[in-house]
Chains A and B, each alone.
Chain A
Amino acid sequence: MPAEFYYGVEVFLNGLMAGVMYSLVALGFVLIFKASGIFNYAQGVMALFAAMTLVGFQNGQIPFAHLINAALGTEVHHFGWTLPAFVAIIMTLGVMLIFAFLVEKFVLKHLVNQEPIILFMATIGLAYFMEGFGDLMWNSDVKRLDVGIPKGGNIWVEESTAFLGGEDFYGFYLDSLDISAALIAAVLVGALVAFSQYTKTGRALRAVADDHQAALSVGISLRTIWVIVWAIAGFVALIAGIMWGSKSGVQFSLSLIALKALPVLILGGFTSIPGAIIGGFIIGVGEKMFEFLIGVPFLGGATENWFAYVLAMVFLVFRPQGLFGEKIIERV
């Protein structure tokens, strides 16, 4: 086989890995949309906020230090200690839980029975609020995130496959971080499916997703469910924040990863957890293979941004509900 064939296989594998990273973001959207019908515009900012909080705890940063210094004339920035990644992750989960509670109390509670567009607008407001709040709490510096996940080309994969393509071929390149992301995503999806299938809360969650009114009539508390869903979405946002933050640092642009999740959602459907994963794979592989086979040789490259959206648009024409989404039938 010529080296070019193996390069194609390498691009395909890396596309799958990129797809996993997109899916991690898309999952958070799916969870909230499925349970409450809200398209959560703030999901990307939640990932950023969670990652900032994690780094802040890890580095012993004092929250709101600039505000404290401006108000009191002090010069405090750090507590002087660092925390192990595991402890910091647990503490961040606590913050995301409090966040979910506050969102329900101050935003969602007041918008029960409102149109989806109103709820969507509320999440836009929430996103802007969190952008500023995150900066105020942890400042806007670029932060290095290291929770011990290995990074860089996986040497074992490289060396074990180097014999395939002759002298020009170094072996398949796979980023260790991406491999970890794939494993984490598999565990996460498994856990989410098990939670929704086999726990009482999970079944209540599915009941709310199926029919709000019917769920309420059998005594399920909508408000509690919303807190749980937003807390789980916060947890997923933290995972996405850790993986993307480990790649390129924790900074504002992390919130823009939400843009990469949109085509994934359109493809996979807004209500399907497996759909988010499959959609991620299709987008990841599609954009990488298109760039490799057509983008670079014929179009000058940089096709990845628009290709994902064009693919999503084509899907919208033939299957508006996505691959695994529920077909919405509204009777007049």
Chain B
Amino acid sequence: MKFKSIAIALALTVSTPAIADLTFPNLTYRTGAFAVSGIPYADGFADYMTLLNERDGGIGGEKVNYIECETQYKVEKGVECYENTKGEGSLVYQPMSTGITYALIPKATSDGIPILSMGYGRTSAANGKVFSHIFNYPANYWVGASVVVKHMLDENGGNIKGKKLALVHLDAAYGREPIPTLEALAKKHGFELTTIPVAYGAEQKSQWLQIRREKHDYVTMWGWGVMNPSAIQEAANIRFPMDKFIGIWWSGSEGDVLPAGDAANGYKSLALHNTGNDFPIYADLKKHVYDKGLASGAGDQSGTVLYNRGIYSAMLVTEAARQAQKKTGKSKISPADMRDAMEAFSIDEARMTALGLPNFAPSFSVSCENHGGNGIAAIQQWDATAKTWKMVTDFIEADMDVISPLIAADSAAYAAENKIKERCG
């Protein structure tokens, strides 16, 4: 009987037409091979939207209409989700997949709907002069690569000449993204770079035997899914020093380190934001979301790295919507208003403190030319005993002297290929 009631309630929820005015779709993957990463992110995103509706009555007097669409991390399903939801007044898309982002860049640009690919997607989309509707703030893969090298420099008194760095990466577009930056940085600082692709994530014996043979000083990883815990386990197996192993922010969640147990202690990863649930916003979430039984999913992801990323991602787009309302003087904004606001977006510590997220993420601003933010990231480290991540550095600025020309070159090639005239004139 209970199940019947739930089924009816569910059917009603699905079939009831949306009456809210600010629509935020979220392309999620709660099923499939990457569900383990997709679920906490989706839960954090959804819970933040629910909080805004429950606590504040929405944004600027307008209720938030949050739409979730399941992609299973597959490009074709992501495009389908986009096509099915864009007609609902969607203000901004967050594809949560580099592949889907690539597929949506021309579509969203032509439809006039902005995309925020936070910490993933096409790195050169940071050039707003070419990519009018694509934003990848607060940091991109090239920023990540540069911050890894800066961390190496910090640990070695500013001199890494002759050091050996291995990039262990998924053999896919995402995994290959940092290679140009690391090559340029290797030339600049005189370190030796070896790129080691991984074809099948769960079996990395060859790759780690190579690292053992070639005696690398540092390893950085661009991994996803099962590749991350497998790599951490293999690194521990060959007794590679964990504090010299630094993953990208997509290789730094609880699910990546827990399977290796104590062996993962000391492993580092880049971080876009702070971790844990020691932030005032969690009191609000408890009062207005969890205690009312409105938590998304099973309600058991609170405080995890990817749950916090979902919160951060939701906060960045809803704050942009708030700034759009302020700028236009109207509460019901359009995707075009949203895009304009994203292009003039800025957030500082005072605002994040007011939102219940003090010391959570860096302040940054966006401009017509720069859709990538200030290019900063921090390093976090895993404590296997306490089972927590801890930030071990401040937010570090990337070497934009190296990155900016690479972004300019790649985006110029895209512009030439697609006959795009540069803007921001």
Instruction: Contacts A173-B238, A251-B226 given; indicate if A303 touches B202 (C-beta within 8 A).
Output: no
- Mark contacts of B157-194 with chain A using CB atoms, 8 A cut-off: 1 yes-contact digit, 0 otherwise: 00000000000000100000000000000000000000
Which of B3, B203, B205, B256 contacts A260 (CB under 8 A)?
Answer: B203
Contact A252 B237 (CB under 8 A): no
Instruction: Contacts A69-B298, A71-B2, A144-B261 given; indicate if A247 touches B239 (C-beta within 8 A).
Output: no
In the docked arrangement, what's the CA distance between A300 and B171, Å?
10
In this assembly, does B310 line the interface, its C-beta being within 8 Å of a C-beta of chain A? Answer: no
Contact A303 B199 (CB under 8 A): yes
A260 CB, nearest partner CB in chain B, Å:
7
B101 CB, nearest partner CB in chain A, Å:
23
Q: Which residues of A contact B201 (CB under 8 A)?
A: 248, 253
In the docked arrangement, what's the CA distance between A242 and B205, Å?
18
In the docked arrangement, what's the CA distance between A216 and B35, Å?
45
Instruction: Contacts A142-B229, A142-B255, A251-B255 given; indicate if A301 touches B196 (C-beta within 8 A).
Output: yes
Q: Which residues of B contact A52 (CB under 8 A)?
A: none
Contact A144 B200 (CB under 8 A): no
In this assembly, does B300 line the interface, its C-beta being within 8 Å of a C-beta of chain A? Answer: yes
Sorting the interface of chain A by its residue count into under 10, 10 to 19, 20 to 34 or 35 or more gives 35 or more
- Mark contacts of A299-332 with chain B using CB atoms, 8 A cut-off: 1 yes-contact digit, 0 otherwise: 0111111100000000000000000000000000
A118 CB, nearest partner CB in chain B, Å:
26
Which residue in chain B gives the minimum CB-CB distance to A178?
Answer: B205
Q: Which of B60-68, B78-86, B207-215 interfaces with chain A? A: B207-215
Contact A253 B263 (CB under 8 A): no
Contact B206 A140 (CB under 8 A): no
Q: Which of A84-92, A94-102, A146-154 interfaces with chain B? A: A146-154
B180 CB, nearest partner CB in chain A, Å:
15
Contact B206 A151 (CB under 8 A): no
In this assembly, does B347 line the interface, its C-beta being within 8 Å of a C-beta of chain A? Answer: no
Q: Which residues of B contact A239 (CB under 8 A)?
A: none
Contact A77 B200 (CB under 8 A): no
Q: Which residues of B contact A248 (CB under 8 A)?
A: 201-202, 226, 229-230, 233, 259
In this assembly, does B39 line the interface, its C-beta being within 8 Å of a C-beta of chain A? Answer: yes
Contact A11 B209 (CB under 8 A): yes
Contact B197 A300 (CB under 8 A): yes
In the docked arrangement, what's the CA distance between A254 and B255, Å?
14
Contact A140 B35 (CB under 8 A): yes
In this assembly, does A70 line the interface, its C-beta being within 8 Å of a C-beta of chain B? Answer: yes
In this assembly, does A230 line the interface, its C-beta being within 8 Å of a C-beta of chain B? Answer: no
Which of A143, A145, A173 contacts B212 (CB under 8 A)?
Answer: A173
B70 CB, nearest partner CB in chain A, Å:
13
Q: Which residues of B contact A296 (CB under 8 A)?
A: 206, 210
Interface core residue of B195, B239, B254 (most chain A CB under 10 Å): B239
Q: Which residues of A contact B106 (CB under 8 A)?
A: none
B9 CB, nearest partner CB in chain A, Å:
11
In the docked arrangement, what's the CA distance between A144 and B301, Å?
17
Contact A139 B237 (CB under 8 A): no
In the docked arrangement, what's the CA distance between A139 and B255, Å?
13
Q: Which residues of B contact A142 (CB under 8 A)?
A: 36, 229, 254-256, 258-259
A291 CB, nearest partner CB in chain B, Å:
5
Which residue in chain B gives the minimum CB-CB distance to A177?
Answer: B237
Contact A244 B199 (CB under 8 A): no
Chain A contacts with B in 16-69, Cβ cutoff 8 A: 17-18, 21, 66, 69
A286 CB, nearest partner CB in chain B, Å:
12
Contact B197 A301 (CB under 8 A): yes
In this assembly, does A7 line the interface, its C-beta being within 8 Å of a C-beta of chain B? Answer: yes
Contact B199 A305 (CB under 8 A): yes
Contact A7 B202 (CB under 8 A): no
Which residue in chain B gives the minimum CB-CB distance to A296?
Answer: B210
Contact A253 B212 (CB under 8 A): no
Q: How many residues of B contact A (CB 8 A)?
A: 47
B400 CB, nearest partner CB in chain A, Å:
29
Q: Which residues of A contact B39 (CB under 8 A)?
A: 140
Q: Which residues of A contact B6 (CB under 8 A)?
A: 70-71
Contact A247 B3 (CB under 8 A): no
Which residue in chain B gives the minimum CB-CB distance to A252?
Answer: B33
B203 CB, nearest partner CB in chain A, Å:
6
A58 CB, nearest partner CB in chain B, Å:
14
In this assembly, does A120 line the interface, its C-beta being within 8 Å of a C-beta of chain B? Answer: no
Interface core residue of B171, B237, B263 (most chain A CB under 10 Å): B237
In the docked arrangement, what's the CA distance between A300 and B179, Å?
13
Contact A304 B36 (CB under 8 A): no
Q: Which residues of B contact A301 (CB under 8 A)?
A: 171, 195-197, 206-207
Q: Which residues of B contact A132 (CB under 8 A)?
A: 31
Which residue in chain B gives the minimum CB-CB distance to A289?
Answer: B206
- Mark contacts of A218-247 with chain B using CB atoms, 8 A cut-off: 1 yes-contact digit, 0 otherwise: 000000000000000000000000001001
Instruction: Contacts A144-B258, A173-B212 given; indicate if A256 touches B202 (C-beta within 8 A).
Output: yes
Contact B36 A141 (CB under 8 A): yes
- Mark contacts of B252-296 with chain A using CB atoms, 8 A cut-off: 1 yes-contact digit, 0 otherwise: 001110111101000000000000000000000000000001000
Contact A66 B237 (CB under 8 A): no
Contact A14 B205 (CB under 8 A): yes
Instruction: Contacts A14-B209, A251-B255, A256-B202 given; indicate if A153 touches B238 (C-beta within 8 A).
Output: yes
In this assembly, does B69 line the interface, its C-beta being within 8 Å of a C-beta of chain A? Answer: no
Instruction: Contacts A10-B209, A253-B226 given; indicate if A247 touches B202 (C-beta within 8 A).
Output: yes
- Mark contacts of B13-49 with chain A using CB atoms, 8 A cut-off: 1 yes-contact digit, 0 otherwise: 0000000000000000001111110010000000000
Which residue in chain B gives the minimum CB-CB distance to A22?
Answer: B203
- Mark contacts of A1-21 with chain B using CB atoms, 8 A cut-off: 1 yes-contact digit, 0 otherwise: 000000100110010011001
In this assembly, does A249 line the interface, its C-beta being within 8 Å of a C-beta of chain B? Answer: yes
In this assembly, does B415 line the interface, its C-beta being within 8 Å of a C-beta of chain A? Answer: no
Contact A247 B230 (CB under 8 A): yes
Contact B237 A302 (CB under 8 A): no
In the docked arrangement, what's the CA distance between A244 and B201, Å?
12
A151 CB, nearest partner CB in chain B, Å:
7
Which of A11, A144, A257 contacts B202 (CB under 8 A)?
Answer: A257
Contact B202 A304 (CB under 8 A): no
In the docked arrangement, what's the CA distance between A35 and B53, Å?
59
Contact A304 B33 (CB under 8 A): no
Contact B35 A302 (CB under 8 A): no
Contact A151 B209 (CB under 8 A): no
5 CB < 8 A contacts A-B: A14-B205, A151-B237, A249-B229, A251-B259, A296-B210
- Beyond the given A251-B36, A252-B36, please list 14 additional residue pairs across the A-B interface where CB-CB is below 8 A: A70-B6, A72-B2, A144-B258, A151-B237, A152-B239, A153-B237, A173-B212, A244-B202, A247-B233, A249-B229, A251-B255, A296-B206, A296-B210, A304-B203
9 tightest CB-CB pairs across the interface, nearest first? A249-B259, A253-B226, A302-B197, A142-B255, A305-B199, A248-B230, A302-B199, A302-B171, A66-B298
